[in-house]
Every structure is written in structure tokens, then in C-alpha cells.
């Protein structure tokens, strides 16, 4: 009986093999069925960011800055172009300051064909942010996710209007976060990406693979040589852009607190000598003779530990805390002077310095 079963199985397999060899189409059909049914674990899957682009792209607008012709106030000429991002159903648009800096009139073109004249709500040269507003019904708004935190290696898409070719999408990854070397005075942390950002992309959207706004494209790095540089572009983080927008909407401009000191992070050796409870402090290097820090009694070599009850973590955190304080506010600053902790009261002034 066993011998009979084995003979039958062998004949069946031999017949199947002969049929596959004789009729090639059978081999194709079998392989196709396996792939269609997902039975083959090595089957390739198509990678597409179409869903993210469809969500974000309608809210990315083309911006045309127009200026009166010299000596002829009746004639407007388009002097520059850029991009912007609609972030509110009320028609607020975030773009770059340098896109509209010299404009007498700003024209916004939506992807659905609508064109509108934009109101300039306010600008902030220090962060290269400008806020515009347009009127319209059913305006597209880019997906926003305040909980998203940019991470090195995240895939991102840059959407804008390079060279006035029309809306264009490029993609890459986040190469670094917290870059400050290109910002005005080195004060702000930028997102670095290798997604291509060209002329006209400024003010456009950097989005993640869910179509959520990650940042506002602002600059490409070019060396001061004839050599072209690729893969180094920058964007303003959405969290910073949104903070600046809220300030401009509330006050018409960005009001920053100022205490008038210059400092640097303490070294790891110094931090070990001071103890863990003093980690993150900064050493005061200089004091503005006309600033509130001088009036409060700060001295070089003081180590700042806390501001307004907030433990600091390096120079950047000091600037973040101070700039958020309203001028006229009196705050306690905990310092370490000659090994002893002291509290100094400081009256915050407004930062009116030019960048």
C-alpha cells in the first residue's frame, strides 16, 4: 500500500514538472498569484509619499513680492518670489521675512487657482519670519502636530515654488537639529536637511511623511567659493515659527525680554567641581553697562543657576527663558559667586538691539 502511494505521488510530481516545462505561462501565473496573495515574503512594496503631499501641498502657496517702479508710483514690478504656508482657517500664512522685506504689495497664489492680495501682519527679522493674512472661504490648512519632534534620520519633504516653475516637491532626511551657525547672531536652532531647497522655496513647507508641518524652509548653505554645495539646507522649526506668529498676532511685533549679560556654558571639569546640583549653569563673561544686568549687580565670573525659579541648562536655555519674559517683570536670578549662592532681583528690559 505504501509503495503504491509513493508511486502515485512520484508520478504526480513528474507530470506537474513536465507541464511547467512545456507551458511557460503556467509558471508566470503561479508566481503572479503568489505575489498577489502576499505569499512570497520577498515581494517588493512600492514606496510613495503621495498621501503626505496631497495633504500638505494645497496649503503651500506661491508668493510674489511687488514693488513700485522707481519714479513711477503707478507701476508695480514683481521683484522676488517665494513660498508660504497657510496655517489657519483665518488665513494666516507663515513665510520668510526676506521674501517680503522690500515689498510694496504681496500677491498670494493658491494651488486651486485663487489669487489674493495679502495683508502684512508683521515681521521678525531676527528669525526671518513674516506673517501674512488673506481673506477667503474654505482655505486649505496644512496638517499641524505640536507633539511631533524632529529627529535626525526622519524623512522629510520640501514643498515650494523654486524658480517660479510651479509647485515642486523634493525629499530627503533631517541631517541635524539645533543648528545655529547660520542664524542671525547664532541665536536660533535650525533644522538641517538634505532635501533640495532652491530660490523660490524660501517660506515653503518642510513636512514629514504624514504631511505634517515640520518647519519653514529658509536657506541653503553655499560656500564662499565657486564650488557648489549640495545636501545642506535649513528650515525654521515649526515650534519656533508658531511662537513668533502668536507674538506678532498679539502685539504686531515680537517683544523680547533682555537682561544684558553675555555668558558661556561651564566646562565639564568645572561642573564636576561645582557638583551635580549646579549642572547646566553658565558663566557670566560680560555685562552690558547700560542694561538691567548692570543695575542688578551682575559681575563677570558669576555663575547663573536659575532664572525665575527655572533651572537653566546652558546658554540657549537662558536666552529662551529671558526672551519669553515681558519687559518690566521683576525676576529672581539664582547665582553662584565665589562659592556661595545668592539671589539677585532683575527688572527685565525690552531687547531693542539690531541683529
Active site residues: 98, 128, 202
Nearest-CA neighbor of 194 among 143, 229, 150, 239?
A: 229
Nearest-CA neighbor of 257 among 186, 215, 308, 301?
A: 308
Round to whole Å and give the CA distance between 319 and 312: 10
Nearest-CA neighbor of 259 among 327, 339, 158?
A: 327
Round to whole Å and give the CA distance between 236 and 192: 9
Round to whole Å and give the CA distance between 145 and 171: 20
Residues 6+ apart with CB under 8 A from 220: 197, 198, 229, 232, 233, 234
SS3 category, 289 = coil
Amino acid at each position: 500500500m505504501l509503495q503504491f502511494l509513493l508511486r502515485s505521488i512520484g508520478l504526480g510530481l513528474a507530470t506537474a514538472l513536465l507541464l511547467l516545462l512545456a507551458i511557460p505561462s503556467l509558471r508566470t501565473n503561479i508566481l503572479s498569484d503568489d505575489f498577489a496573495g502576499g505569499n512570497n515574503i520577498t515581494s517588493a512594496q512600492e514606496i510613495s509619499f503621495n498621501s503626505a503631499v496631497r495633504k500638505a501641498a494645497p496649503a503651500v502657496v506661491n508668493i510674489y513680492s511687488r514693488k513700485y517702479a522707481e519714479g513711477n508710483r503707478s507701476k508695480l514690478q514683481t521683484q522676488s518670489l517665494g513660498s508660504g504656508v497657510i496655517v489657519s482657517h483665518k488665513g494666516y500664512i507663515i513665510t520668510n521675512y526676506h521674501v517680503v522685506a522690500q515689498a510694496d504689495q504681496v500677491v498670494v497664489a493658491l494651488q486651486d487657482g485663487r489669487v489674493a492680495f495679502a495683508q502684512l501682519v508683521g515681521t521678525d527679522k531676527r528669525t526671518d519670519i513674516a506673517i501674512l493674512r488673506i481673506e477667503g472661504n474654505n482655505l486649505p490648512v496644512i496638517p499641524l502636530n505640536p507633539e511631533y519632534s524632529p529627529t535626525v534620520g526622519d524623512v522629510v519633504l520640501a514643498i515650494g515654488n523654486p524658480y517660479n516653475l510651479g509647485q515642486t516637491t523634493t525629499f530627503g532626511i533631517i541631517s541635524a537639529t539645533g543648528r545655529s551657525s547660520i542664524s542671525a547672531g547664532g541665536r536660533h536652532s535650525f533644522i538641517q536637511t538634505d532635501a533640495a531647497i532652491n530660490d523660490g522655496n524660501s517660506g515653503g513647507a518642510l513636512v514629514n511623511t504624514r504631511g505634517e508641518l515640520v518647519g519653514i524652509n529658509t536657506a541653503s548653505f553655499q560656500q564662499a567659493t565657486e564650488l557648489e554645495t549640495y545636501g545642506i539646507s535649513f528650515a525654521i522649526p515649526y515650534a519656533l515659527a508658531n511662537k513668533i506668529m502668536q507674538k506678532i498676532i498679539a502685539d504686531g511685533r515680537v517683544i523680547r525680554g533682555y537682561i544684558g549679560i553675555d555668558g558661556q556654558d561651564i566646562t565639564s571639569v568645572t561642573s564636576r567641581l561645582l557638583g551635580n546640583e549646579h549642572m547646566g549653569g553658565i558663566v557670566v563673561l560680560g555685562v552690558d553697562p547700560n542694561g538691567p544686568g548692570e543695575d542688578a549687580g551682575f559681575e563677570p565670573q558669576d555663575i547663573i543657576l536659575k532664572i525665575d525659579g527655572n533651572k537653566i541648562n546652558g546658554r540657549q536655555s537662558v536666552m529662551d527663558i529671558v526672551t519669553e519674559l515681558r519687559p518690566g517683570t521683576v525676576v529672581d536670578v539664582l547665582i553662584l559667586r565665589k562659592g556661595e549662592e545668592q539671589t539677585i532681583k532683575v527688572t527685565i528690559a525690552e531687547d531693542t538691539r539690531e541683529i
